[in-house]
């Protein structure tokens, strides 16, 4: 068992580990339990009653958080012709074609957080798939990052679009904002992502869908939320 710091132990005293909190109570607690000097990120972990080994039980999608994530997102767009200008006008940090792919290949350059590509650029993007994949940067139609509607993709990403995806342990981990947002904005963001996850329930999933819902700040104690009330 790892040794916990003094701040963590003090924060943990505020949380009843045996209790399932209502959303309002959980949000109050999560803003009182950060253990860092910086503005902590609020993380959501949802364990689902699905078997991710089966293709028909995958849960993946995107949603735009009403108040964003509190993080400045650097967007790179790979496109051709007028689509490059469209990307720049929409606020992309970097926009171009094969020259950017070469820069990534030759210089190991990754000064961006999200890559968006038009479908006609995916053949080029495939050349660097091996380095993009492990970093979670590979554009994908399911996440809305392979599209000809470059303007919409850039604007939504900048506005706070987040991707949620179930992992091998059937858990979705996603950031829903910063402690400084306060309870009202965090609740709005929480409700937005939870509605998206519930809506994305696969038809093949049987039994209880929301196994557990937990909120925590960066390096803070976990706060269990009553998932059954959310699913009703």
Task: Kindly report, residue by residue over 17-41, the tens digit of the pLDDT.
Answer: 889 999 999 999 999 887 778 889 9
CATH classification (class only), 75-159: alpha beta
Quick one: pLDDT band at residue 1, thresholds 50, 70, 90? very low
Question: CB–CB of 110/128 below 8 Å?
Answer: no
pLDDT attached to residue 111? 94
| Confidence (pLDDT) at 17 | 84
CATH pick for 6-69+160-225 out of 3.90.660.10, 3.30.190.20, 3.40.50.1000, 1.10.3720.10: 3.30.190.20
Q: Where in the chain is the domain with CATH 3.40.50.790?
A: 75-159
- Reported confidence tier of residue 193, pLDDT bands at 50, 70, 90: very high
Residues of the chain with CATH 3.30.190.20: 6-69+160-225
Upper half-sphere CA count for residue 184 (Cβ side, 13 Å) = 0
Q: Could you tell me the pTM of the whole model?
A: 0.81
Q: How far apart are the C-alpha atoms of 180 and 65, rounded to whole Å?
A: 16
> Largest Cα–Cα distance of the chain, in whole Å?
58
C-alpha–C-alpha distance, residues 8 and 135, integer Å: 30
* Tens digit of each residue's pLDDT (9 = 90 or more) over 208-231: 999 999 999 988 889 999 987 776
The full DSSP string for 120-173 is: GGHHHHGGGHHHHGGGT----GGGT-B-S-HHHHHHHHHHTEEEEE--TTSEEE
């Amino acid at each position: 068992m790892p040794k916990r710091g003094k701040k963590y132990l003090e924060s943990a005293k505020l949380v009843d580990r045996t209790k399932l909190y209502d959303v309002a109570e959980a949000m109050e607690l999560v803003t009182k339990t950060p253990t860092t000097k910086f503005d902590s990120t609020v993380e959501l972990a949802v364990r689902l009653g699905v078997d991710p080994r089966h293709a028909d039980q995958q849960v993946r999608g995107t949603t735009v958080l009403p108040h964003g994530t509190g993080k400045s997102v650097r967007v790179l767009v790979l496109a051709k012709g007028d689509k490059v200008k469209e990307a720049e006008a929409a606020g992309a940090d970097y926009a171009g074609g094969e020259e950017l792919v070469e820069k990534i290949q030759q210089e190991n350059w990754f000064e961006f957080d999200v890559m968006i590509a038009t479908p006609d650029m995916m053949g080029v993007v495939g050349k660097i798939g091996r380095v993009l994949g492990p970093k979670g940067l590979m554009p994908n139609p399911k996440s809305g990052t392979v599209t000809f509607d470059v303007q919409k993709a850039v604007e939504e990403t900048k506005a706070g679009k987040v991707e949620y995806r179930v992992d091998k342990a059937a858990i979705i981990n996603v950031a829903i904002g910063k402690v400084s947002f306060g309870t009202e904005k965090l609740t709005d963001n929480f409700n937005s992502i939870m509605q998206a996850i519930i809506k994305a329930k696969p038809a093949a999933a049987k039994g209880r869908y929301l196994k557990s819902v937990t909120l925590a700040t960066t390096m803070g104690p976990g706060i269990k939320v009553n998932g059954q009330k959310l699913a009703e």
